[in-house]
C-alpha cells in the first residue's frame, strides 16, 4: 500500500470515472471523511487514505455473511454510493434518532468507542449501504480491484 496520505488529482479523476460508470450524476469531492449527500449525489472522499475508523469498519465487515475480501477504500466508496442507491427517508429519520442516542450513551460512558462503531454500522441505513456496496463489488470485482491497483492500494487481486 502506498505510504502517501492523500489522493492525487489523477487518482481523484480515476475514482470519478469509476463512480460515473455506476451513475453519471455522481460527483466526487475531497473531504475529511467518506460521506455523501443523497440530494445532490455528491460523495466526499476522505483526505486520508486510512483513518482510525477503517480498521473498526473492516473488522465489523468481516462479521457479515456477505463479506468478501475488499480494500477498505473501495468498500468505503461503494458504501457511500450505496447510501444514494438505497436511500429511504423514513429509515434515515429513525436511524438518525438511534445514532443520536448512541452518541449520548458514549458521552455518558455507557458504551465505548468500538461498541458505538459496531452499533452504528448495524443501523439499517448503514448496513443497507454496505450490503449494496458488497453486492456491487461481487458483480464488478475485476473493475473494483483494477481501480484499487491503479490507486496504489493493492499490488495484487484480492481473489
pLDDT in tens, 65-106: 999 999 999 999 999 999 999 999 999 999 999 999 999 999
How would residue 156 be classed by pLDDT, with cut points 50, 70 and 90? low
**Structural domains of the chain, count:** 1
Range of 74's domain? 9-150
Q: Is there a domain that residue 4 lies in?
A: no
Output the pTM of the full model. Answer: 0.91
In a domain, 130, yes or no: yes
Answer whether 133's CB lies under 8 Å from 125's CB. Answer: no
Q: How far apart are CA 159 and CA 151, in angstroms?
A: 18
Determine the 3-state secondary structure of 140 from DSSP. Answer: coil
- Is residue 157 included in any domain, yes or no? no
- Residue 3: pLDDT above 70? no
Q: What would the grid cell of residue 3 be?
A: 505510504
**CA-based R_g, the chain, Å:** 16
Q: Which residue has the cell 477498505?
A: 72
Residue 94 is assigned to a structural domain of this protein: yes
Classify residue 108: in a domain, yes or no.
yes
Any domain includes 86: yes
Amino acid at each position: 500500500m502506498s505510504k502517501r496520505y492523500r489522493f492525487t488529482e489523477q487518482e481523484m479523476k480515476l475514482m470519478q470515472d469509476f463512480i460515473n460508470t455506476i451513475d453519471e450524476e455522481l460527483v466526487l469531492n475531497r473531504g475529511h471523511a467518506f460521506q455523501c449527500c443523497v440530494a445532490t449525489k455528491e460523495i466526499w472522499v476522505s483526505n486520508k487514505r486510512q483513518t482510525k475508523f477503517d480498521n473498526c469498519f473492516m473488522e465489523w465487515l468481516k462479521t457479515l455473511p456477505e463479506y468478501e475480501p475488499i480494500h477498505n477504500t473501495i468498500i468505503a466508496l461503494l458504501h457511500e454510493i450505496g447510501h444514494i442507491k438505497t436511500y429511504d427517508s423514513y429509515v434515515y429519520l429513525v436511524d438518525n434518532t438511534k445514532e443520536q442516542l448512541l452518541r449520548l450513551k458514549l458521552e455518558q460512558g455507557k458504551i465505548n468507542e468500538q461498541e458505538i462503531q459496531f452499533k452504528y454500522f448495524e443501523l439499517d441505513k448503514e448496513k443497507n449501504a454496505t450490503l449494496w456496496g458488497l453486492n456491487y463489488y461481487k458483480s464488478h470485482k475485476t473493475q473494483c480491484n483494477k481501480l484499487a491497483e491503479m490507486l496504489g492500494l493493492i499490488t495484487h487481486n484480492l481473489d
